[in-house]
Amino acid sequence: HWVDVQMAPPDKILGLSELYVKDPNPKKVNLGVGAYRDEEGKPWILPSVKEAERKLVVEGLEKDKEYVPILGSGPYNSAVQKFIFGHDEFGKKLIAEKRIVSAQTISGTGSLRVIAELLNKFYSVKKCYMSAPTWPNHLNVFRDAGVEPAAYPYYDLDTNSLDIENLLATLNKAEKGALILLHSSCHNPTGLDATSEQWDQILEVITKRELFPIVDMAYQGFATGDPIKDLGIVIHKMTKMHYENPEKLPSFALCQSFAKNMGLYGERTGSVFLVHESPEFISKITSQLKALVRPMYSSPPCHGSKIVEVILNDEKLYKSWLGDVAKITNRLNEVRSGLYDNLDHSLRNWDHLKRQKGMFSYTGLSKDEMLKLRSDFSIYGTDDGRFSLAGISNRNVKYVAEAVNAVVKK
Ligand code: PLP
Ligand code: TYF
CATH value at residue 373: 3.90.1150.10
User: What pLDDT does 14 receive?
Assistant: 84
Report CA(367)–ligand 1 centroid distance (Å): 23
| ipTM of the shown complex | 0.93
Report CA(139)–ligand 2 centroid distance (Å): 14
**Which of 274, 289, 313 corresponds to the end of one domain?**
313
Does any ligand 1 atom lie closer than 6 A to the CB of residue 225?
no
Query: In 3-state terms, what secondary structure has residue 5?
Result: coil
Gap between the Cα atoms of 29 and 391, Å rounded: 7
If we measure between CA atoms, which residue out of 260, 184, 259 comes closest to residue 229? 184
- Contact present, 217 and 80 (Cβ < 8 Å): no
Q: pTM for this structure?
A: 0.96
User: What pLDDT does 62 receive?
Assistant: 93
What residues pair up with 106 in beta bridges, in sequence order? 269
Radius of gyration of the chain (CA): 21
Question: Do 183 and 157 sit in the same domain of this protein?
Answer: yes
Residue 145 lies in a domain: yes
Residue 324 lies in a domain: no
Question: Do 240 and 338 sit in the same domain of this protein?
Answer: no
Total of domains in the chain:
2
Residue 200 annotated in active site = no
Residue list, ligand 2 pocket, CB within 6 Å: 13-14, 33-34, 109, 135, 137, 188
Residue 2 lies in a domain: no
Question: Do 335 and 306 sit in the same domain of this protein?
Answer: no
Question: Do 286 and 370 sit in the same domain of this protein?
Answer: no
User: What pLDDT does 224 receive?
Assistant: 96
Q: Give helix 47-57 / helix 315-342 axis angle, nearest 10°.
A: 150
Residue 3 lies in a domain: no
Query: In 3-state terms, what secondary structure has residue 214?
Result: strand
Residue 59 lies in a domain: no
Question: Do 278 and 341 sit in the same domain of this protein?
Answer: no
Mean pLDDT by 10 residues, the chain (410 residues): 92 87 96 93 96 96 94 97 95 96 98 98 97 97 98 95 98 98 97 96 97 98 96 88 96 98 98 95 97 98 97 98 98 97 96 96 96 97 96 96 93
Structural domain of residue 297, as residue ranges? 74-313
Query: In 3-state terms, what secondary structure has residue 100?
Result: strand
User: What pLDDT does 39 receive?
Assistant: 93
Residue 12 annotated in active site = no
Residue 216 annotated in active site = yes
Question: Do 263 and 117 sit in the same domain of this protein?
Answer: yes
